[in-house]
Amino acid sequence: MLHIVCALKPEARPLLDHFSLRPLPDEPRIYHNADAHISLTLSGIGKSAAAGAVGRTHEYFDADRSHAWLNLGIAGHADLPVGQMAIIKKVTDAASGQTWFPSRVFPVTIPAHDLLTLDEPGSDYREELFDMECAGFFRAVSDVATLELAQALKIVSDNADTPLDSVNPALAGRLVQQNLPVIENIIDQLLTLSELLRDLNDAGPDYNAIVRQRHFTVSQQHQLRSVLRKWRALQPGDKGPAESVAGKKTATEVLHYLQAELNKAPIRLT
């Protein structure tokens, strides 16, 4: 499943229409299409609002780490043309200096740019994109999601030649509509990755116990599931390995240990 977070309804409207997303009766700021496996939450403006939207969405859908997340919205830049869309490769919170580096595990045809999240609207145009929500989105989503499945897309709405006071709701909607084919392609890839993780999540209770306490990349999650399936096949009556890796602090240490134990295990013919 994919969860999209947008600040305001004008920039979300093309997605609501295209994916036939309808408001939930008990959560009118969350839109959903169960058949499309997509939700969209309107956060409002600002970091705290974006973080709160992630929290509400996560709680409502009881989202696990196989769910994908996307922050979509408009942003300013010094000289990128209005309408240019970018995928974000580094997010910095201007107030705290905290940074996030979204990992891209699928091909894209649009440029990747850094982004700075401000606490107030700004007209000091710079060489990175800037908005008011993205840092809050990543601060919250990093606690509940696999970061390779958390991405941000920003569309340039203003620059030094076309300043912020030229931006209006109609423009925001048009910019998203113009970029809808590329947005849809990225949504499809995130949904495919989410479905892959969900389908692979058959490694038993040890899997959740192990990944809950350590950061595993998407590739490492695949490796862990494979190792745990082999463990069950080779040692079907044995106690699971979650307790035996309790002292391992990193995903790499866990994987090396489990593989070494499997290499020592006798093949049982039944």
pLDDT for residue 15: 98
pLDDT for residue 197: 76
Closest C-alpha to 190, from 161, 215, 213, 218? 218
Contacts of 54 by beta carbon, 8 Å cutoff, 6+ apart: 3, 5, 41, 69, 137, 140, 141, 144
pLDDT for residue 238: 64
Place of tokens 């969900």: 198
pLDDT for residue 269: 41
Parse the chain into domains and list their residue ranges.
Answer: 2-195, 202-264
Half-sphere exposure of 139 (CA within 13 A, CB side): 19
Label residues 142-180 b or e (16+ Cβ within 10 Å = b). Answer: bebbbbbbbbbbbbbbbbeeeeeeebeeebbbbbbeebe
pLDDT for residue 48: 98
Half-sphere exposure of 111 (CA within 13 A, CB side): 12
Q: Which CATH class is domain 2-195?
A: alpha beta
Cβ(112)–Cβ(87) under 8 Å?
yes
pLDDT for residue 268: 47
Mean pLDDT by 10 residues, the chain (270 residues): 97 98 95 97 98 97 93 96 97 97 90 96 88 98 91 96 88 96 96 81 73 85 82 67 87 91 63
Number of residues written out for the chain: 270
